[in-house]
Structure formats: C-alpha cells, structure tokens
Amino acid sequence: MQGIHFRIENRANGLVLDVNHSGDIGNMKEGSDTPLFIQPFTGNWGQVWEIHNGQIRNAASGFNLHHGNQSSDEPFACMVRPTNEQHQVWQFHSNGAIVSALDGKGLTVSGNDKGSRVDVRPFNVDSPPSDCQWALTPISAQYRIENNANGLALDVNHSG
C-alpha cells in the first residue's frame, strides 16, 4: 500500500460505500455484475478506497468507481470496473458532493437503509440533498520516502 486509504461515508445515514461482492476478491466480476451499496463500516476490503487523479479506486481490487453513460435523468446504478474511462473521473466539492466530470451527475443512494444501492443522478451541486453528501475519512496512510539523488528509501534502523 502507498498513499491514503479512505472510507466514503454518506452523511445522511452514516453508512459507507461498499462493493456488493461476498467471497474471494479474485472471483469478482467487473462491470454491472459488481454494483455498489452502502453498509455499516467494518473495514472489509470492499469499503477501502483510494483517490488517483480524480478516480475513486477500490484499494483491494484496483477497480474504479464507475457509472453508466446513460442520458436519462433517472437514478442509475454505480459499479466498479478496471478501466480508465472518462466517466470514472470525479470532482469533489467542499459541501460533500461527489460529481461525475463527464456529465455532472452526482453520487447518491437509492435509500437510507443498509444494503441500499449507490446511484448517480442530477442535482444542484451548489446545494446537494443530504443523501448526495459524502465524507472521505482517512483509514490509514503509508508512503515510501525516496532520496532523488541516490534512489534510496527512508527506513527505520531497528532490530528486534
């Protein structure tokens, strides 16, 4: 691990973004077969996220938070995918809104109960409804500090 790992918590209900997959991570299917939902925080692999160049990536699977490229204003399910498509780039607003850079649709939930689906839908980004507000809470951070001159990394000199 290198960087900061986050949980992404919905401010309306305190539940966190989770990959809807039970079982071995190696058996997880990409795309619409692996939707997202909200659950209480347990720290399982499906609830740990990283941010890379505007993409929200599941830290364990390496798959990015993604929404379909639909034209409707109806809520549409989010999923995880291992690609770098434009509709996987997200803008983070100080009011908690997380909005697709492609079409301006924002991250929301289909309900406030655990197990509710994570969707995108249009809303006023300057005044998002409470179910469209999210908090990124750091879980852990780890960095490799390397000297540019010689390429050697900082290490702790301790034995035992």
The whole-number pLDDT of residue 108 equals 93
The whole-number pLDDT of residue 6 equals 93
Whether the CB-CB separation of 7 and 48 falls below 8 Å is answered with: yes
Integer Cα distance of 26 and 44 in angstroms: 15
End-to-end, the C-alpha distance of the chain in Å comes to: 23
Q: Is 126 helix (H, G, I), strand (E, B) or coil?
A: coil
The whole-number pLDDT of residue 73 equals 78
Q: Which residue has the tokens 């301790």?
A: 158
Whether the CB-CB separation of 16 and 48 falls below 8 Å is answered with: no
The whole-number pLDDT of residue 1 equals 45
**pTM for the full model?**
0.81
What CATH number should be reported for the domain whose range is 3-142? 2.80.10.50
Per-residue pLDDT of the chain (160 residues; tens, 9 = 90+): 467 899 999 999 999 999 988 777 777 776 556 889 999 999 898 999 999 889 999 998 888 898 876 677 788 888 888 777 766 899 999 999 999 988 889 999 999 999 999 999 999 999 999 999 999 999 986 666 778 898 877 776 666 5
Whether the CB-CB separation of 97 and 11 falls below 8 Å is answered with: no
